[in-house]
C-alpha cells in the first residue's frame, strides 16, 4: 500500500520537511561540538591553578581565643603565594580569619605555622584557599 501525495502533505511527509529536519540535526550536532570544544579550551587554558597545592598538616588550640595551624605549600619556586586561613567552631561557623602573604621561596615545598585569633573557642583551624600572587 503506497501513500498518496495528499496524505504525505497532510502529515508533513514532504521532501522539504525531510531536508529541513536533516539540516536542523546537522546544525544541532555542529552546535554541540562547538560548545564542547569551547569548554575544553576554557577549562584547560589556565594552568596556574594546577601549579599550587596546599595541605593542612596539623592544628592546636592553645586557649579559647587562638588556634595554631601548620600546613605546607607546594608552589613553583620564586612565586609569591597568598593564603586565607580560617578557624571554625563546633557548629562549623567561622570564628577567626586571616589572610597571609608569603614571598617566593627557593624551594617548591614550604612549611608554615600561623596563629589565628578567634572571637570564641575554636574547634579547628584550616586553610580556606590559597592563590598565586
Domain ranges of the chain: 5-45, 48-132
Torsion of CA 71, 74, 79, 82, to 10 degrees: -30
CATH architecture, domain defined by 48-132: Sandwich (2.60)
pTM over the 0.75 mark: no
Residue 50 has pLDDT above 70, yes or no: no
Query: Average model confidence (pLDDT) for the chain?
Result: 89
Question: pLDDT digit string (tens) for 54-95?
Answer: 999 999 999 999 999 999 999 999 999 999 999 999 999 999
Amino acid at each position: 500500500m503506497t501513500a498518496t501525495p495528499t496524505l504525505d502533505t497532510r502529515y508533513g511527509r514532504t521532501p522539504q520537511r525531510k531536508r529541513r529536519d536533516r539540516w536542523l540535526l546537522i546544525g544541532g550536532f555542529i552546535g554541540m561540538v562547538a560548545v564542547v570544544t569551547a569548554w575544553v579550551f576554557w577549562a584547560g587554558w589556565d594552568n596556574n591553578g594546577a601549579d599550587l597545592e596546599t595541605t593542612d598538616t596539623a592544628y592546636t588550640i592553645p586557649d579559647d581565643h587562638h588556634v595554631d595551624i601548620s600546613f605546607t605549600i607546594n608552589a613553583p619556586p620564586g612565586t609569591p603565594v597568598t593564603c586565607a586561613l580560617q578557624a571554625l567552631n563546633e557548629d562549623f561557623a567561622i570564628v577567626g580569619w586571616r589572610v597571609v602573604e608569603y614571598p617566593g621561596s627557593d624551594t617548591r615545598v614550604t612549611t608554615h605555622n600561623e596563629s589565628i585569633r578567634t572571637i570564641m573557642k575554636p574547634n579547628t583551624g584550616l586553610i580556606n584557599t590559597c592563590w598565586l600572587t
